[in-house]
Structure formats: C-alpha cells, structure tokens
Amino acid sequence: MSELSRREIRNETLRIALPAVMEGMLIVFISMVDTYMVSSIGRAEVSAIGITNQPRLILFTLFFSVNIAIGLLVARRKGENKQKEANMLFLTGLAYTIGACIIVSILCVIFARQIVVFGGANEDSTEAATTYFRIVMGGSIFTLVSLFINAAQRGCGNTRISMTTNLTSNIVNVILNYLLIGGHLGFPRLGVRGAAIATVAGTFVACIMSTLSVMRKDGFISLRFIFKQKISGIPEHIRTLARISIVILGELLLTRVGFIINSIMAARLGTDPNAANHVGMAFMNIGFGFGDGLQIACIALVGRSIGQKDDALAKRYVKSALKIGFLTSTAMSLLILIFGRSIFNLYFPDTEHMLLMGDMISMYIAVIMPIQVAKIIYGGSLRGGGDVKFILVGATISVTLVQPGITYLLAFVYDFGLQAVWFSILVSQTVQLLLYAVRFYRGNWINRKV
C-alpha cells in the first residue's frame, strides 16, 4: 500500500488534472467566443449553430466511446507496466477511428439538411445550420484523430499535450473567426460558413500536433515503438477494446438521445428561447469542462493505482479530486450569479426579454454546477475502475428517461416554457450524482477486470 501523504496525493491529482481542466475551460471559452462572434450576424444564426451541436455530438459518440476506453485501458496497462499491450490497443483504436470517420463524414455531407431538420432547425435556421454542419463534419477526421491520440496520452497521465494542441487549435479558430465571419482585413464576409471553416482549420492544426506527440521514442505510447516492435492488432486486443467501447457507446448514445430530445424541445419553444438556451448551455459547459479535467485525472490515477494493486490509493485520489471540485465549482457558481446578466447582455444587448431568460438560466446553473462536477468525478472513478456498465445504467435513468420526461411534462403540458428545460437538467444531474456516489462508497467497482 502506498504511503503517500495527503499533500502528495493532492499535488499528483492537480498535476494531471490542471492541464485537462485548463483545456476544458479553454474549449468552453472558445465556444462562447464563437457564439458571441456569430451573434453579431443575428439570433437565427446563433440558434442554427446550437442546433448542429447535438446531432454532431451524437455522431461523435461512435468515437468518444473508443477514446474513453483507450484512456482507461492505457492507464491500467501503465500501472501493470505492459507497454507493448498498451500500444497494440492504441493501434487498434486508431485504425477504427480513421476508417469509421471516413464513412461518417461522407454520410453527413450527403444528408446534412435532413440531419439538422431532425435536430430541430426551422425555416429561419435550416440553411445556416446545413452549411455549418456540412463543413464541420466534412473535416471531422482532423478532430477525431486528434481526440483519440490525446485520449491515449491522457491515460498515460500526459494531459499537457492535449492542452497544448487545443490551445493552438483554438487560437487559430478565433483568428480565422474574426477574419471570416465578419470579413475583416480584406477577407470575405462568410458568416456561418466562415465560422465552420475556422473550426476545421483549427482542428487540422491540432491533428498535426497530436500526431507529432506520439512520434517521440521515449513515450509510453509511441509510433516509433510500434514500428520497432512490429506491433499489430490481434483478436484478443480487438475484443478487449470492443467489449469496453460498446458499453460506453451505449451510455453515450443514450445520454445524447436525452440531450438531443431536450434540445429539440427547446428549439420548438421558439428562436429566442432556443438562442438563450444555447448560450446557457455554453455557460453550463464550464462545469463540464472543469469536471472533465478532474474526471480525466481520476481515470488515469484510479486505473494506474488498480493496475499497481493499490485500491486504497485509488480511493484517496478520488476524494482529493472531490475536494478540489467542490471548492472550485462553488466559486464558479458565485461568479455566474454575479456576472450572469452582464454576460448575457454581450450576446443580446439591451434586449430585456432575453436578459430575463438569462437571469433564470444563471440561477439554475449556479445550483447545478457543484452537483454536476461531483457527478462527473464519481463517474470518472467508476470508469477508471472499469465499472462502465453501471455508468450506462445511471445515464439511462437520469438523462435518457428523467430529463426529457420532465421537460415535456412541464414545457408542453403545464406551459412552463424554457424554465422546464433547466429544471429537468437540475433533477437529472442530481439523480446521476446520487447513483454514482452510492456505487462509489459501496466499493464493488474497484476490482473490475479490463
């Protein structure tokens, strides 16, 4: 059993979590900047980009599931000191990511209009949403390859690479947004099309940087090591990756189904409520971004500790992450309460009915954020232990069933409007937190074989 002090536990948790937290927060910030830049064109365009988010994310679950699986598998193999096996799993996942992405991209370009209409696009947002979706999904291979490589690096505890690639990518994105959305410094004014091109250009840069990160010969995950050892995927490792990925895929798909149903219902409340909801979801993603950083640390540290057969150390890392998460999320909630209206005013200047919706959303987010962050950390600990089936159960109950059910009842039966959407999110996040916390403290997740 490890004799690490409380301070050493906290420092190691922060060492891995901080770059991932900064990355997550940066992604959220850039998303809000994107929305702000597009809002200069009109609320319909803000609504159009918001509508594309859920269809895009539900398609990306085909890849996110493999990313989460490779992260926890690499972490466990690192703890077990099995570098060759970790690289076999990496190569298998990379081949799947490239092959599946080519097929998905082609289908999305062909059927872009039908997909965004299904996602809730109406007459004033369909054209813009179709254009944005077609361009972003056409260049999605750069995003998905970069995300996969970064996920494997995170499993090794190397979260700085992912932060660096995303920082550079987002700088490129913001610069090109400025040049192409409004047409500055002699560049054409492309509006939503310019926002999409900027996004793809940024992810192209990220993909190059991520690929270079696995060219180093001294890395635990290394293409040079793969070539030197003449590593290839074998059926046993394909089955291992598929077995875990399929369960995670089920969880992510069912979660996305819940979110997309909620998004469709929000869109049917009207263009203005949907635009306010989109900005609010960008706010709430601050909690997701911060929580995901701590979750990444939990997956890496819990997986490594269990691989070293030190279950007590794994639990200590999770409890350290919870303390960090509670203090920080509470501070963020206070900031949102104080500055929420001012930030909404940047998107919808001096539009009182939009600001009133922003006030309501800000209050909900302030309550949701600490719950959300704790839920994500507990979920990361269960994933790090390999207990992915229970995560599937928790997500199905809370997000797929409870959340859209409450939204429909309160919004369309009792006419509570946009408030129904946010009340359902609060209930859903609370249910998930309770389920995951009870599972964690019972301790039967700790010895799952992966």
pLDDT in tens, 145-195: 998 999 898 888 787 888 888 888 888 988 898 888 877 888 888 877 888
Task: Spell out the domain ranges in the chain.
Answer: 6-442
pLDDT digits (tens, 9 = 90+) for 353-386: 888 998 999 999 999 999 999 999 999 889 888 8
Judge whether 13 and 320 are in contact, CB under 8 Å.
yes
The stretches in the chain having pLDDT less than 70 are 1-3, 24-32, 34-48, 119-122, 124, 232-235, 446-450
Q: Which residue has the tokens 């793809």?
A: 200
Select from 251, 166, 236, 191 the least CA-distant residue to 436.
251
Q: What's the pLDDT at 1? A: 47
Q: How many residues does the chain have?
A: 450
The tens digit of pLDDT for each residue in 81-116 reads 888 888 888 888 898 899 999 999 999 889 888 887
